[in-house]
Amino acid sequence: MSYPVSGRAFMAGNEIISEAALRAGCTFFAGYPITPSSEIAAHMALRLPQVGGTFIQMEDEIAAMGAVIGASLAGAKTMTATSGPGLSLKQENIGFAMIAEVPCVIVDVQRGGPSTGLPTAPSQGDIMQARWGTHGDHAVIALTPLYPREVYVETVRAFHLAELYRTPVYVLVDEIIAHTTESFELPADEGLIKPRGEYAEAAVNTWRPFYDFFQGKHLHITGLSHTQEGFPTVNPEIVHRSNLHIVNKIVNAQPALERNEEYMLDDAEIAVICFGSPGRSAREAVNRARAKGIKAGIFRIITFWPFPVETVRKLTDRVKAVVVPEMNLGMLSLQVEKSAMRRDVRIIGVNVTGGVPIEPQQILTAIEEAYHGV
């Protein structure tokens, strides 16, 4: 079975992620089946052997993350895929990948939680876990694409960013995106940022990554706080510099990492701020609001972490109110509130956690409430 790399394609979200990973040069996948991400593992099991890659189903999510790290350290471009409960299990090894600066891609197809929750239903409840799931000071890159072509492009970009910043990178989608099948135009090469074997100058200049494979050198890799040579240290100055490096190489790059979609925002009095699949309902709601003479627009976040604080701050400075639809109880709303300088800007959440999509009418009702000052 062959899959196109140009022209139009007709795929579900999980297939798109898999094919984009292969386009990015992924040669190793380790995972453990978990709804609603299992199609990614199934697809990679089929496709990786066809391109000379390796697929391994591990005994659990912990081992899967460890295998991905090991393969990356051996020089492969690596990916794993899971959902909320599996992501919880991966966190210890994700922390190791953070401190050891191991490039890899982690796909999280979000479902209802906590715990087993709603295995087959959508949610957006993992966004804070992606940011804060592993302990200690660190920063993360998390991409939250929506439309098919965007899912493809952002999955490829995830591999690029993992190598560029030497870090795990998340691709966060939800069950709706994962299982929606659509026709879309595959991006040409010039529409992709290709992964490459080089790293961010800002990162290299502040702290040299401590491993350099295939150079005939003996290497020491540890999850302990370490020197630039990779050996454990308790020297407070070195440990502090290392922690600053892990955080600042990503935080300081936020403007370059930022990607958003704006829709009818130029003259908007009400801004709908969202990410992921609620963006579809938001567009319909804004169109209906405009038909009623309400000037509403959408700010949809594609790079969620590091969060676009300054962009959101400027937006909240000029609108009357903000509506935040999300399939959780206010995780994005919290970030919007933290970003806003104006304490008087009204923020109205549209929060759905019952495992069903947010409907356009729910968002429109909140827009009308904001507009009329109810």
pLDDT bracket for residue 252 (50, 70, 90): very high
CA 65 to chain CA centroid, Å, is: 17
Range of weakest confidence among 218-222, 309-313, 363-367: 218-222
Q: Does 220 have pLDDT greater than 80?
A: no
Q: Any idea where the domains of the chain sit in the sequence? A: 8-191, 260-372
Task: Give the residue from 266, 302, 208, 62 showing the smallest Cα distance to 70.
Answer: 62
Q: Helix, strand or coil for residue 147?
A: coil
Question: Which tens digit of pLDDT belongs to each residue from 77-102?
Answer: 999 999 999 999 999 999 999 999 99
Are 230 and 211 spatial neighbours (Cβ–Cβ below 8 Å)? yes
**Ordered DSSP codes for 196-253:** -S---HHHHHHS--S--TTSS------SS-B-TTS-B---HHHHHHHHHHHHHHHHTT
Query: Model's pTM, two decimal places?
Result: 0.95
Dihedral sign, Cα of residue 180, residue 181, residue 185, residue 187: positive
- pLDDT at position 262 is 98
Distance CA 308, CA 168 (A): 19
- pLDDT at position 367 is 98
Q: Which CATH architecture has domain 260-372?
A: 3-Layer(aba) Sandwich (3.40)
Instruction: Select the CATH number that applies to the domain covering 8-191 from these four: 3.40.50.970, 3.30.379.10, 3.30.420.10, 3.40.50.2000.
Output: 3.40.50.970
Distance CA 297, CA 323 (A): 10
Distance CA 192, CA 156 (A): 7
Residue type at 83 in one-letter notation = S
- pLDDT at position 5 is 73
- pLDDT at position 24 is 95
pLDDT bracket for residue 2 (50, 70, 90): low
Tokens of residue 366, six digits: 């909140």
pLDDT bracket for residue 4 (50, 70, 90): confident
Mean of per-residue pLDDT scores for the chain? 93
- pLDDT at position 342 is 79
Distance CA 322, CA 320 (A): 7
Could you give the angle at which helices 13-23 and 148-165 cross, rounded to 10 degrees?
Answer: 40
How do beta strands 168-174 and 104-112 pair?
A: parallel
User: How would you class 238 by CB atoms within 10 Å of its CB: exposed for 0-12, middle for 13-18, buried for 19 or more?
Assistant: middle
User: How would you class 62 by CB atoms within 10 Å of its CB: exposed for 0-12, middle for 13-18, buried for 19 or more?
Assistant: middle
Q: Does 193 have pLDDT greater than 80?
A: no
Which spans in 101-147 are helix H? 127-132
Given this chain, do its domains 8-191 and 260-372 carry the same CATH topology? Answer: yes
Task: Give the residue from 327, 345, 328 showing the smallest Cα distance to 336.
Answer: 345
Determine the length of the chain: 374
In order of 69, 267, 268, 272, 304, the CA distances from 262 in angstroms are: 36, 12, 11, 10, 15
The dihedrals phi and psi of 304, each to the nearest 5 degrees, come to -80, -45
Question: Which tens digit of pLDDT belongs to each residue from 17-60?
Answer: 999 999 999 999 999 999 999 999 999 999 999 999 999 999 99
In the chain, DSSP assigns E strands to: 8-12, 28-31, 54-57, 78-82, 104-112, 118-122, 141-143, 168-174, 181-185, 260-263, 270-274, 296-301, 303-305, 321-326, 346-351
Distance CA 371, CA 270 (A): 7
